[in-house]
Chains A and B, each alone.
Chain A
Amino acid sequence: MAELEARGIPTVGVATTEFIEGAKAQAKSLGTDPALVFIPHPVQDRTNDELRQLADEHFDAIVKLLVK
Chain B
Amino acid sequence: MSTLPEDGLVAVVKRDCPTCVMTAPVLGELARRAGIIVYSQDDPSFPDTVALRESDLGLDMSHRLKIEIVPTLIRLEGGREVARTYGWDRAEWERLSGLSDLGRDLPASQPGCGARNIEPGTFERLKVRFNETGLKSRRIEIGGDEDEQEAMFARGWSDGLPLVPPIEERVLRMLDGTGRDPQEVIGLVPPALAAATVEKIAVNAVMAGCKPEYLPVVLAAVEAVLDESFAMHGVLATTMFVGPVVIVNGAVRRRIGMNAKGNALGQGNRANSSIGRALQLVIRNIGEGRPQEVDRATLGNPGKLGYCFAEDEEGSSWEPLSVERGMKPGASAVTVFAGFGLQGVVDQKSRDPESLVRSFAESLKAVHNVKIAPACDALIVVCPEHERTFRDAGWSKARLYEELYRLCEIPGDELVAGARGIAEGGPASLAGKTVNKFRPGGLLIVRAGGDAGMFSGIIGGWSASGGHGSVPVTREVKL
Contacts and interface: CB of A to CB of B under 8 A. Distances in A.
Interface string A1-41: 00000000000000000110110011001100000000000
B246 interface: no
Pick the most buried of B192, B288, B290, B294: most chain A CB atoms within 10 A of its CB.
Answer: B294
Contacts of B193: 29-30
If over half of B's interface residues share one DSSP class (helix, strand or loop), that class is named, otherwise mixed; here it is: loop
A45 B293 CA distance: 24
Size category, B interface: 10 to 19
- List 10 tightest A-B contacts by C-beta distance, closest first: A25-B293, A29-B192, A29-B288, A25-B294, A26-B294, A22-B296, A29-B191, A26-B191, A22-B294, A19-B296
B237 interface: yes
B292 interface: yes
Interface of B: 191-193, 237, 288, 290, 292-294, 296, 423
Contacts of A29: 191-193, 288, 294
If over half of A's interface residues share one DSSP class (helix, strand or loop), that class is named, otherwise mixed; here it is: helix
Contacts of A18: 296
A17 to B, nearest CB: 13
A25 B156 CA distance: 15
Size category, A interface: under 10
A39 to B, nearest CB: 16
B293 A30 contact: no
B262 to A, nearest CB: 40
A66 to B, nearest CB: 24
A9 to B, nearest CB: 20
Contacts of B237: 22, 26
A58 to B, nearest CB: 21
Nearest to A31: B192
Contacts of B294: 22, 25-26, 29
Contacts of B423: 45
Contacts of A45: 423
